[in-house]
Amino acid sequence: MNKALILAAAIAGALAALPATAGEPLQTPARMSARAPKAMVLALAQAGARTVAVGERGIILVRDGGAVDSWRQAKVPVSVTLTGVAFADASNGWAVGHDGVILSTADGGAQWTTRFDGNRANALMLVDAKAAVAKAQAAGADNAALGDAENALGDIEAAAKFGPSRPLLGVWFRDAKTGYAVGAYGQAFRTTDGGANWNSMGAGLLNPEGLHYNAITGGPGNTLAIAGEGGYVYRSNDGGASWQRSATGYSGQLYGVIFTGRSMLAYGFGGHVFRSEDGGATWRETPAATKKSLVGGAMLGGSIVLAAQDGALLRSDDDGASFRVIRQGDAVPTASMLAANGAVLLSGVGGVRAAGEGSK
């Protein structure tokens, strides 16, 4: 189960709080509503001094300082659920979501433009899958390897018949030009022109099972890391040109990776946390401080802070070797966190709340 699906039941209830949107979601702008700040918010990002939140039905909210509830709704050309958001600077940002959508903004999140969707994602993945079958045939691959490639091709062909149905779940940009988006069923794309055009990275990633990629982030230099299904972390040292897959020893979902400056940390379902001191080649599990799924993480000063699905916060002051609970859960289903300016925000059901404000 990926992070966007963990809150499915809660989302179903939250949807009833907003006006319905008619028509094709990829062609229908998000409905402007005074109740938008109380919508389900699945991801947060900082754009200079501004905070940007994205969530259900294409809702994007922006806040320029002030109270945590002083949000205004942005103009968005789609009404699909948005699952991830990232900014390269105070102006240039990108959001990803269901139906393979990628949006961009050049004004700090006030207005957005569609850059990519699931139709183009399907086309790129179809090219990858056909190339993989041809490569396996030319190499005289054994029946199992060729069968895997042919099965993957069949899955992509079947998915394409349903149109743009596969969600993107994570996005990260190194600068205003170079960025990455990943998602369900092995979707992985890269842009070098600010999102005007995207290329698939799928052929370079070892993922014959078509496992989900839940999040992507960058580290020093050209390093990248993807957290995924099956307990796998995918690592690149050359900006996504090539990848290595490493197993953490856990077979469940990983929802995020953090570069701490001294090590790498991967976290996910059921409170699992793993630490690597060799660039992600090998992993050791950190003792659990909660059994709740961990849905967000960030560096805050010299500490690591993780957010759990119930709103609890965990903190490590020893580079991820151990964690302690610094905020008890408030029972509000939580999807993400943002640590900025010495403070922590949580998002999920009911919008965005300050970490110290309980269920407000």
Residue range 108-142, pLDDT digits in tens: 999 999 999 999 999 999 999 898 889 888 888 77
Q: Do the domain assignments include residue 274? A: yes
pLDDT, position 3: 52
Are both 46 and 125 inside the same structural domain? no
Are both 11 and 90 inside the same structural domain? yes
pTM (2 decimals)? Answer: 0.91
Are both 156 and 113 inside the same structural domain? no
Are both 152 and 226 inside the same structural domain? no
pLDDT, position 69: 64
| Single residue among 135, 163, 191 that ends a domain in this structure | 163
Are both 342 and 294 inside the same structural domain? yes
Are both 202 and 245 inside the same structural domain? yes
CATH number, residue 275: 2.130.10.10
pLDDT, position 174: 97
Q: Do the domain assignments include residue 216? A: yes
Are both 259 and 153 inside the same structural domain? no
Dihedral angle at the C-alpha atoms of 11, 16, 17, 18, nearest 10 degrees?
A: 100
User: Total domain count for the chain?
Assistant: 2
| Ranges of residues in the chain whose predicted pLDDT is under 70 | 1-23, 66-69, 356-360
Are both 143 and 196 inside the same structural domain? no
* Contact residues for 270 (Cβ-Cβ < 8 A; gap 6+): 252, 288, 291, 292, 293
Q: Do the domain assignments include residue 360? A: no
Q: Do the domain assignments include residue 85? A: yes
pLDDT digits (tens, 9 = 90+) for 23-53: 699 999 999 999 999 999 999 999 999 999 9
Are both 221 and 307 inside the same structural domain? yes
Residue numbers of the domain that contains 56: 3-117+164-354
Are both 159 and 301 inside the same structural domain? no
pLDDT, position 160: 85
Are both 49 and 124 inside the same structural domain? no
Are both 205 and 180 inside the same structural domain? yes
Q: Do the domain assignments include residue 359? A: no
